[in-house]
Structure 1
């Protein structure tokens, strides 16, 4: 079943993306949104195939009813929800004729969605979230699967914040790049796509898929990453509601279930980039955070390990420069080797003070052994971190090739952050080796002594 679902979705994506140039990410997100019963907001200039994406998505469902509308600041509710019923008015009922309008659609595209007035927005809020429509005194269930909405930008208006939050996924759409622009010019005017019926879904199949995906586990590493992202967004002032976090977790489960997996993996978490951040700039910073976080965890973080190494280096410097009084075999103070006698050849502590009788502190075998062992444990942490990063790098190309939802350029986005993180770890590891050699070279005392307390680490 899992393999069958994967191949079915792969075929559906191939069919929907045929003859579309540089819109792989948008197609993948629109289909994932439909599977999850969520909505997608496309942000970008006009003429970038945003409406074409929605028109194609309708072919992913059997017998899909499609609705499309361009809003202006003069749009009225009748344009989306249908005209008032004259027959109902004659019977003192305020009802709309919804046939052919949004309340009866399963796939919808709303262009310039933020130009809607408050009357439209209020009705859309309930329809998008609860899949219900208030028609007069009755609240009706709607067959809506997903809404793709488009806008040039998101207005900075607190009044639309709740409406903006209804779109779980947000994607920035750019014009076709210069490298593939000739392909755009060569496209025929009439492009007909063919979606095999075996690849399409009906409402019952979507419900079954979502129920099955609910059993997909969020492993500890994924929960930790999401929790860390939440803490980071709070620090950055990026608003993400608790409802959105819960919906994103379910989206990740559906993404994993599509691959036949019983749990979400860290690659799936790349999709969080499209669900966290209200602006393109915020989404870019989230993508950077994910790239830097990939292959690490709370323990094996560059910042934390840097502090650990600095603590070890500080302890080594302290012990290396520590001094002690120099006693001879008889237990008397003796002039340290290399110290000069005074002009009269006297070793007079009265005239020279104690400075001539001070030597570098010596450490017992147990002390030095304990320090070397502790540094060895830290070195093992670095080896584990570097090994993990190397495994991630090896998985990267194959993962992107097989993953249904990651964009084709995902590998390019994370390859550099991975390399930077690895270089940081490798440099820190070299410093740890120097520290280990420094502890091993401390002056050795005659007595074995005792093992010291572990080096205190801040963070």
Structure 2
């Protein structure tokens, strides 16, 4: 590990050491460390005996010059247990000060178990300490070296003070008992590792050259400040904010700023100059307060990342359907019959036939067909035998070369757009694979969900390309006129971006 800069390979080795003996806790440990690197706090939510305190102790081991403080809170906990006892000498001099040495105000990393069981006086004092890194000691306010607090709780209260304290934890991570597969591995481990995984036992020995000094953490945060948030990432964050508002889920402006900082730290720790769209996979644990909310945010992100809304399958489907509907209408359209010279074809019908038809339909007041024909004949003879001409509709409409070319040219432009979008989706799938392969903070479940969604989108786009191609072939097969014919108006559809 370099003295003043964060070496990614050294960070990888550090994570490997910290994860020794843990079962199904890699994701929680890594996110807790990322929060600490960003100067943020983590809340672990889960039942007792699920390695929450073990995770906090390991986070402490990542930093070379940070003191560790740990305390279990109850409703009977007094401020002296967290902030230190009152100074007798200061009281004699009419000052209300505490001896903070060895207590939370002088800690670098702290673990506070059952954080919401403390009374409101303690929680209010913690608010300033967690957010501003300052502690009011007597008449003065002192600066605290706090890097990160790892809190633990079984449940989150809904009272006003509890919600304010809850908001101080940027990451909220569920810690559940190990799965059936994890249970087998937990018991199969040796005693030391099994105990460490269950919140007890000696933590792993971290070589001093892998531990992070304060200078490295400061340099990382300076590098993170220069990391760029690209336009597409900002657009997704704005869309997510609107979606959350529609779900009646409030996220404070302060939290959004902290989220952006966390994304930049994640990128900087991996040596990247800008945040990738896939880094937004960190957001579910930053936004939601429970597992259902986290899953809802993760599902929204998996469906939206890597997909351009302007060229989304639903929108492209409506465009393809417009061409299909136009083709259907043109296939079914009747037209006037033309003779070999291209003139309208007429057939003669006599007045007698017309009247006979009318009389036989009842106009003749019940007259028989023979009588009607005879009467019509007499009328026709009286008019000199002149007949009427009528147009015939004996065939489907035919189209000139200009019409067909206009239709196929328009579909060719659509097919080019679809092909370009197919290329975009393929590139996004490759980018996601490359990002996941090098990311230290990626959630495998989120990566899998995003890959499935992109594969589904690619299949939909391929289907639309086939349908558009079939529509093109349909226009090519329309009945033709010998001459060029007229140029039609373009098929109307939703505009597509470049």
**TM tier relative to shorter chain:** 0.7 to 0.9
Identify the residue that residue 400 of structure 1 maps to in structure 2: 436
For structure 1, which segment, 399-408 or 255-264, has the greater mean C-alpha deviation from structure 2 after superposition?
Answer: 399-408
Partner-residue secondary structure (3-state), 1:37? coil
**Is the contact between residue 24 and residue 408 of structure 1 (CA under 8 Å) also seen in structure 2?**
no
Determine which of 186, 190, 202 is the counterpart of 1:187.
Answer: 190
Q: Distance in 2 between matches of 1:99 and 1:358?
A: 102
Identify the residue that residue 411 of structure 2 maps to in structure 1: 375
Partner-residue secondary structure (3-state), 1:167? coil
Q: Residue 345 and residue 353 in structure 1: after superposition, are their counterparts in 2 closer, same or farther (change >3 A)?
A: closer
Paired residues for 1:345-384 under 5 Å: 356-357=392-393, 360-384=396-420
For structure 1, which segment, 228-237 or 277-286, has the greater mean C-alpha deviation from structure 2 after superposition?
Answer: 228-237
Q: Distance in 2 between matches of 1:103 and 1:342?
A: 111
Q: Distance in 1 between matches of 2:346 and 2:45?
A: 79
| Residue 95 of structure 2 corresponds to residue 93 of structure 1 | yes
For structure 1, which segment, 200-209 or 21-30, has the greater mean C-alpha deviation from structure 2 after superposition?
Answer: 200-209
CA positional deviation for 1:4: 6.4
- CA distances 1:375-428 after superposition (whole Å, capped 9, x unpaired): 233323333333333344445555434211113445434343333333332333
Q: Residue 71 and residue 368 in structure 1: after superposition, are their counterparts in 2 closer, same or farther (change >3 A)?
A: farther
CA positional deviation for 1:140: 1.6
Number of residue pairs aligned between Structure 1 and Structure 2: 456
| Residue 470 of structure 2 corresponds to residue 434 of structure 1 | yes
| Residue 170 of structure 2 corresponds to residue 168 of structure 1 | yes
Determine which of 232, 239, 242 is the counterpart of 1:231.
Answer: 242
**Is the contact between residue 325 and residue 359 of structure 1 (CA under 8 Å) also seen in structure 2?**
yes
| Residue 68 of structure 2 corresponds to residue 66 of structure 1 | yes
**Is the contact between residue 225 and residue 297 of structure 1 (CA under 8 Å) also seen in structure 2?**
no
Q: Distance in 2 between matches of 1:349 and 1:164?
A: 89
CA positional deviation for 1:240: 1.8
CA positional deviation for 1:320: 4.0
Q: Which has the larger radius of gyration?
A: 2
- CA distances 1:356-380 after superposition (whole Å, capped 9, x unpaired): 5486555443443333233233323
**Is the contact between residue 410 and residue 490 of structure 2 (CA under 8 Å) also seen in structure 1?**
no
**Is the contact between residue 107 and residue 144 of structure 1 (CA under 8 Å) also seen in structure 2?**
yes
Paired residues for 1:248-327 under 5 Å: 248-323=259-334, 325-326=336-337
Determine which of 207, 226, 240 is the counterpart of 1:196.
Answer: 207
Q: Residue 280 and residue 357 in structure 1: after superposition, are their counterparts in 2 closer, same or farther (change >3 A)?
A: same
Q: Distance in 2 between matches of 1:64 and 1:322?
A: 82
Q: Residue 92 and residue 302 in structure 1: after superposition, are their counterparts in 2 closer, same or farther (change >3 A)?
A: farther
CA positional deviation for 1:138: 1.5
Q: Which runs of 5+ in 2 are unaligned?
A: 193-200, 362-387
**Is the contact between residue 19 and residue 191 of structure 1 (CA under 8 Å) also seen in structure 2?**
no
**Is the contact between residue 3 and residue 259 of structure 1 (CA under 8 Å) also seen in structure 2?**
no
Q: Distance in 2 between matches of 1:270 and 1:196?
A: 31
**Is the contact between residue 346 and residue 389 of structure 2 (CA under 8 Å) also seen in structure 1?**
no
**Is the contact between residue 345 and residue 391 of structure 2 (CA under 8 Å) also seen in structure 1?**
no
Q: Residue 396 and residue 456 in structure 1: after superposition, are their counterparts in 2 closer, same or farther (change >3 A)?
A: closer
Identify the residue that residue 452 of structure 2 maps to in structure 1: 416
For structure 1, which segment, 88-97 or 1-10, has the greater mean C-alpha deviation from structure 2 after superposition?
Answer: 1-10
Determine which of 479, 484, 487 is the counterpart of 1:447.
Answer: 484
TM-score (norm: length of structure 1):
0.88
